[in-house]
Structure 1
Amino acid sequence: MEVPKDYLDKIVGANLFGTINAIQIIGSKMIAAKRPGSIVNVSSLVSLQAIPEYLPYTVTKCGVDMVTKQFALELGSRNIRVNSINPTLVLTENIKNFLASGDTRDKTFIERTPLQRAAEVREIVNPILYLLSDYSSMVSGTTNVIDGGLMSSIWLKW
């Protein structure tokens, strides 16, 4: 309820407008070069599920999912596919440091994940490579959840 407007503007600018601008630039260059191909956006698992105190992030990542669908529609006739991946918690250096700090919020993701761990960076990169490859030549406009089963589990513990 109390997200400062300047912070909200910053997150909307980076996550939503940044994605739109990047696709406009890349898509225009692909069209001008008459090159088919694939664009993959990085969204988030939390675009599909609200979580406490993350309003700017969840809302903008949800927007990235719709931007993905809109550009898949707009660029499809040019044989340009657009998809997004929606990863769970990924063990980047920042997240490793955050987990080591003792904050329990991100540990909750791990506890509720059936595979009982966060994703390694390579586990996010490999699906991106698939979406960029010809193996996914009929895949466009999709959101691809990479979550270790988190979204399939509504129960905390029995």
Structure 2
Amino acid sequence: MRSFVVTGGGRGVGRAVVERLAQGGHVVVLDLVGEPGEPPSGDIRRLTDDPRVTLVRGDAADPVTARRAADAAEDRAPLAGWVNNAAVFRDLPVTAPPGEVLAAVSANLALAITGCHTAVGHFLRYRRPGAVVNVSSHQAQRPVRGALPYATAKGAIEALTRAVAVDHGPAAIRTNAVALGSVETERYERYRQEHPDVDRQMAALHPLGRVGTGREVADVVAFLLSDQAGFVNGAVLPVDGGRAAQGADPEAV
């Protein structure tokens, strides 16, 4: 058996990845869930009732907490894969104070850097192959208006993915990314309730005519972590229903 760490694994896409990976190994969920000292919510408790899932509560950008998650995974089975899924959504324009913009970008980028640092260091320490998957977004290439910090961070995360793949590929450590389109999550469902026309808009944005599901993303992540992807390194794989490939049609009515 192998073990994995998934940051931000308590909900949304991260949770789907946890449930998928738990089918073949032990998964440590590293997530900020609730307040320190409070018991996890019912949703998280149901997830961690599975003996194949362990919760480590804390900030995935904190190296000490990330190390704790890696050690918790190693205690269950050899750590084989790390998924940097946790993200922060904070919109700011470039006209905001530069320090605030940089802090908003760093809030996302730090999560991936700490995760890569911890995972690669762990694989090197144990002298074993390993795999990292960073969760990016179509916005790394085609930003949505108003999402400057998020889009900038995701662009940097894709560059980080390639750099780590080049630096540590000789040690049989593979690093790849998935660039997501819109996906059905609790956050998306709340947006849908507030914007009744969103399904029609999303169908137009995605050539497959719909948004994705967490399970569809999780299947791709599981593949990239598996031996079947043993020669895939430094790739950024769109999992977006064709959204990034589609251009606007000026003749469309």
Give the TM-score normalised by structure 2.
Answer: 0.58
CA distance in 2: counterparts of 1:4 and 1:93, whole angstroms: 31
- In structure 2, do the counterparts of structure 1 residues 143 and 52 end up closer, same or farther at CA, with 3 Å as the change threshold? same
Q: Could you tell me the percent identity over the aligned residues?
A: 27
CA contact (8 A) 1:45 1:87 kept: yes
- 1:155 deviates by 3.4
Deviations 1:6-30 (A, max 9, x none): 6534432332121111111111011
* Equivalent runs, 1:6-155 vs 2, <5 Å: 7-102=100-195, 108-155=201-248
Give the TM-score normalised by structure 1.
Answer: 0.90
- The one-letter amino acid paired with 1:146 is V
Secondary structure of residue in 2 paired with 1:43: strand
Structure 1, 100-109 or 23-32: larger mean CA deviation: 100-109
Query: Which structure is higher in helix share?
Result: 1
Structure 1 gap segments, 5+ residues each: none
- 1:62 deviates by 0.3
CA distance in 2: counterparts of 1:134 and 1:18, whole angstroms: 25
Structure 2 gap segments, 5+ residues each: 1-93
Q: How big is the alpha-carbon RMSD for the aligned residues of Structure 1 and Structure 2?
A: 2.1
Number of equivalent positions: 158
Q: Which has the higher contact order (CA 8 A, sep 6+)?
A: 1
4+ runs of 1 displaced by more than 4 Å? 4-7, 103-107
Deviations 1:85-120 (A, max 9, x none): 001011110111112111767864432211111110
CA distance in 2: counterparts of 1:5 and 1:113, whole angstroms: 34
CA distance in 1: counterparts of 2:225 and 2:143, whole angstroms: 29
